Structure 1
Amino acid sequence: MADPQSYRPKTSEIPASPGVYRFRDPKGTVIYVGKAKNLRNRLTSYFQDPQRLHPRTYKMVHTASSVQWTVVNNEMEALTLEYSWIKEFSPRFNVMYNRNDMSFPYLAVTMNEQYPRALVMRGKRKKDVRYFGPFPQAWTIRETLDLLTRIFPVRTCAPGTFQRAKREGRPCLLGHIGKCSAPCAGWITPEDHRELAEELCRFMNGKTGPIKRELKAKMLNASENLEFERAAVYRDQLEAINLVLEKNTVVLPNGTDADVIGVAHDELELAVYVLAVRGGRIRGVRHWVSEIPSQTQDLSHLPGDAAADVLEQLYGNLPEIPDSEIRKQRQEQQTQAASVDDIEHLSAENVPPLILVGQTPKNATALKQWLTKRAGVNVTFSTPQRGDKKSLLEMAQKNAQEALQLHKNRRIADLSRRSQALEELRTYLDLPAIPLRIEGFDISHTQGTNQVASMVVFEDGAPNKNAYRQYLITPKDDGSPLDDTAAMSQVLTRRLKRLQAEQAGEQGYDEQGEALESGPIDPLTGKARRFSYRPDLIVVDGGLPQVNAAARTIHELGMDLPVVGLAKRLEEIWIPGEDFPLILPRTSAALYMLQHLRDESHRRAITHHRKKRNKAMTVSILDSIPGVGTTRQTALLQHFKTYKAIRNASVEELAEVPGISEKLAHTISEHLQAKDQK
């Protein structure tokens, strides 16, 4: 038996979202499918103390060798996907409905009887019995049926119970509480009871509008007549209808057959996630992460090109269908079927008539013709902009992004891969030692405004987020912004001067002259040492101009530190003084590590820039007045209510505000008058 800890995913890697998960054995066979409102909480529970697990669960986790998951939007979608996968894979550790001649349960109405009965039914279908569903679990049908009998009190009892009540001429409890019209006791005629069953069937077929309008009218009428108890009954019936109408089995209406292709990528790799929707339900899922071909120059068309490659791989081995017999058969099925579930839909291995993609492939016309020959019907591409199809496409793209992120996290978390990456960096960059501490820098701004920078730190090849820092870039004396090279030079100067000061045992100070007390404390001096760790490698985001500016700054400070630049377009590594970049193999662990560091520094800089930009968009006229901070601004607004009243107030009136001295009142008045004159 396998040790569950050998394949246990990191808790941080598991999304805290609704989803469905699959346990697989060493052969790749799915042995268990489950759903969860919070995937992180549910999956971590399988890897707790083995003695606390149920014996069946204990055996399952020790039989499995891997676990995978798919993120969905809500619990209803998780319920639907769980049902689809149980039917698709028949996992041996799930409670299987197809054992002992069992199948998934349906809500059935026996219109073949004199007194139709509503019940939960499995197995083979019977003639003249109307089926609705299927439902993933029997208890969901029973809850639905309990709600429906409040509105349509059709018979639900077994034949023996019905015959006994008929002989006695007395209904059972359901008749007395209004959940059955009691045809056994003659409370309703056979014709009226059959019409009640027909109304139930029409409701389940989707004709709900007239019933809801009728109940609402009755509720309002009872309320106007002060019959509040009767109005409450109609209100409860409306609530019951709304609960029943929640879609819990179909992800696309009208029995749609489609493939939904989600693509996520960075500069080196792409992740593909394919949802095979058949009969409106998810019947299969396929996903993988692969390397972007080295000849790819334009990444903007990558999602469409990837979708085309996926379709060729999925359906390339299928034979061509020369005629339209399949189309005729499907049209006949659509015409004859009473509901979506009566239609025989395609398997996940066949070409569907609809392909949902985030970006249409360049060769869409030729690809359509190629797929149409293998499908027997016209195949179309669609990029939905709203509705259920758009939600389903977003779900596929979200799962593709999750798969890519998980792949990258596992790569960087692999100790052997990290060691390999650090050794490759030492070799490729000809460093004197393995770079155990790497610092990455990036600049972010919007056309020169709100300019900021970030510093991220990788120690032993992994991010050390406690050491991340962010900077505000000081503009030129005339207020104009610095270019990217000058901004990078300023940031490196501030960081390395602080390093020199702390290595010399000097205390650092902020812009207001306050001592900086955060960070590790030197045991000898008792002083704060935030930046006293010397980097083994500095990585800047950009090409040759940025890396030359960084090298020049380091040289001017009298330091000897290796520095490189990582250009984003082709993932080129620029070395100071070199005319041509260093190109690492695309499968190199060192390149993946540098890319991860660059992405982290870019994310940090963008986040800081957006915060600063948003704050700048909500500037107050009081912000520029010396001595008026947030507390005094709040006091002024509470006293005068509006900025206009503050502007029109006299010095004496301003001085009446708590916390505002007469001197500060003069300062406020002078600044506001000067602004008015401008």
Structure 2
Amino acid sequence: MADPTSYRPRPGQIPDSPGVYKFRDEHRRVIYVGKAKSLRQRLSSYFQDLAGLHPRTRTMVTTAASVEWTVVSTEVEALQLEYSWIKEFDPRFNVKYRDDKSYPSLAVTMNEEFPRVQVMRGPKRKGVRYFGPYAHAWAIRETVDLMLRVFPVRTCSAGVFKRSAQIGRPCLLGYIGKCSAPCVGRISPEEHRELAEEFCDFMAGRTRAHLRRLEQRMHEAAEEMEYEKAARLRDDAEALRRAMEKNAVVLADATDADLIAVAEDELEAAVQIFHVRGGRVRGQRGWVTDKVEEVDTAGLVEHALQQLYGDESGEGVPREVLVPALPDTPAATDEYGEEAARPVAAWLAERRGSRVDLRVPQRGDKKDLMATVQRNAQQALVLHKTKRASDLTTRSRALEEIADALGLDSAPLRVECFDISHFQGEDIVASMVVFEDGLARKSEYRRFQVKGRVGGEQVWHGTDQDDVRSMHEVISRRFRRYLSEMQRSGEWEVPEGNDPADGPDPLGDGRSGPLDPESGRPRRFAYPPQLVVVDGGQPQVAAARRALDELGIDDVAVCGLAKRLEEVWLPDDTDPVVLPRTSEGLYLLQRIRDEAHRFAIAYQRKKRSASLRSGPLDAVPGLGSGRRQALLKHFGSLKRLRAATIDEICEVPGIGRKTAETVAAALAGAAPAAPAVNTATGEIMEDGAAPAAASPGRGKER
């Protein structure tokens, strides 16, 4: 625990102007980012008597070891810089909203020659039109299914589209009239794009023009006694009306607004957002956060606005944003608080490119709808409280139980877990997962290719004894990189004869890892854990401890979790530590161990899939991995490649006639084998790839 007076700036050193400040811990990691109208007043409030500080603020200032700041000219610049730094450094003491689920959106890929309608999750891509987010993916699919009668836009994947074009026949949707089948030339690219733009206009709320057009065409067909056509147009109009009815009308037709509500208690807060476009609720989403800093409702609203619109621009920011409280509200405001919200509103207007109204609804339909959003936020907070893994009190108790069981001086805030994985003794890999404050920090995950070589030949083959050697190698490489980076940053004096730079490259990749001279942010392996967990029993734990001792590291605790009886092993104990089955500490260790196992298995499977996919092509002389992948991508499988002529092979970019003849001859000489089956997992291998020979006791993947 640091004393805040040890790094308190001298009187008069802090400027009395707007700016953004960062608190860093002893490892130079940014742990808190904040902004202020007056840096002098705000920073001075952190260095008062500790007894007068909020408990979370007291924890932050005693964890920090230094503070620094950047002066800006306006509060809008401070808001933008604060958002950028929070996104870059992900400080542990800042409010961080995390989605309680991954919300799907309806996306139209206008950046493709033939735009595609599909359900998308995750970050937004350039050139793609998004609508939503929606609470459920099935709601999007029902809406799209109704609208494809009128707007038969392509919905198939790139593979299906390419295959239909190759065989000259559309997919099922093309036969039943729910796709215009651009893959077989039924519609030109220009006509299909116009169809996609009409689909986007309808989803954006411009619905009346399309309905009037359909009704007019229906009446014209009836007058010309084309009754079948008129009936089809009538059904199309009814389908559009049903799609519109799925979104309830809540506000005036021209209203485009986002409504944000907050429900909170002393420890956590839940945020709910309703997206209203054209007077209809087009989407809903929610976030939950631990209140790791002292923040009121207005501060929570400001953080929510930053997260919601920080990466948006143009129409992604609505004309109106309704909130329960205005950020940075002074003593005197007008009826709608427009003066109070000037910096945030100016920042939103800058992102939209036009005026944005940020206010608290006072009366009418908007106030009633805000009450509905508030009820949803309250229900989300109650539901979240019941989730064990996300409960702050439960996580704290779990870390304390681990510290007591292992005899640690304090709770391990950063835990790293390592696991070794191989398949039938080959392709040995390892994973490192990181948990901070009981939560996974996936940006810190790392994976290793275990070398296990002596004199250029692989001598480790995934036996139990070689698992121990692999664990020793991985732990050594991870902490050798940490010492190397500490040495470069000048924060660690190298003991004689223990210079990590004297040995081989720690990761085998030729990369260095000093601190960033601009931001001071350490790279890759610069943060040490308080606890290292290995997947295994006493041998693996002893190997990890030996690796740390060889590097002179004695301030990192080590333990192992054996799968068979879920026993916790310590390096120097002959008997394991047995935690109660109902222990929160054991539950957290199991989660960490299982996550390391999952991450290692995923990497091992990826490597094995890449090595098996090419099959007989690996034996073709002069054919590199790039051209092998190009051949497989063009033909789709080895079976089709075998059936191709030399001229067809020459059509692949980068393949000349001589190479095509060599490939054809090699594949003609390789007898097509039946699909190979992995006897350990029952998994069918890639065409042309045989599984490695299994040996007793080594035929499973771990």
Q: TM-score, structure 2 length as denominator?
A: 0.35
| Larger radius of gyration between Structure 1 and Structure 2 | 1
